[in-house]
């Protein structure tokens, strides 16, 4: 997985995921195969419904990437727009996904994202 030519995740890499109840995103800590930290990846999704060993959630197309240097980027806006046009995501859910992505961007700029547990 790459962005602007930079490796975010590669075969043999480690990724540690944090999933939270009632939260509209999860967070992955991404590394290269040599264990070099490459950044934080937030996947915008519906809050997971956890039913024993089975989890239900829906990917909402938007993603946020934060480099080790702290640069934060919104990814996959084109996929998100296409999904809305194709009716793959309803307006209310799309608005909630957009709000979540903007909140993460704002909180990261203020230094209060990601949460301390990450």
pLDDT tens track for 36-60: 899 999 999 999 998 999 999 999 9
Q: What is the CA radius of gyration of the chain?
A: 15
- pTM to 2 decimal places: 0.88
Q: Which fold has domain 2-110?
A: FomD barrel-like fold (2.40.380)
Helix (H) or strand (E) holding 18: strand 15-18
**Could you tell me the residue ranges of all domains in the chain?**
2-110
pLDDT confidence tier of residue 33, bands split at 50, 70 and 90: confident
- Name, in order, each residue with C-beta under 8 angstroms of 92's C-beta and a sequence gap of 6 or more: none
Distance CA(81)–CA(49), nearest Å, equals 26
pLDDT, tens digit (0-9, with 9 covering 90-100), for 59-102: 999 999 999 999 999 999 999 999 999 999 999 999 999 999 99
Q: Which residue in 51, 26, 48 sits closest to 104, CA to CA?
A: 26
| Contact present, 38 and 8 (Cβ < 8 Å) | yes
């Amino acid at each position: 997985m790459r962005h602007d030519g930079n490796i975010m995740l590669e075969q043999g890499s480690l990724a540690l995921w944090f999933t939270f109840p009632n939260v509209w995103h999860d967070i992955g800590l991404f590394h290269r195969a040599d264990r070099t930290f490459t950044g934080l990846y937030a996947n915008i999704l519906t809050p997971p419904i956890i039913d024993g060993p089975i989890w239900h959630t829906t990917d909402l197309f938007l993603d946020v990437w934060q480099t080790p240097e702290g640069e934060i980027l919104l990814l996959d806006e084109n996929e998100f727009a296409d999904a809305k046009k194709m009716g793959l995501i309803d307006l209310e859910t799309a608005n909630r996904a957009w709000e979540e992505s903007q909140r993460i961007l704002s909180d990261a700029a203020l230094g209060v994202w990601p949460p301390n547990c990450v």
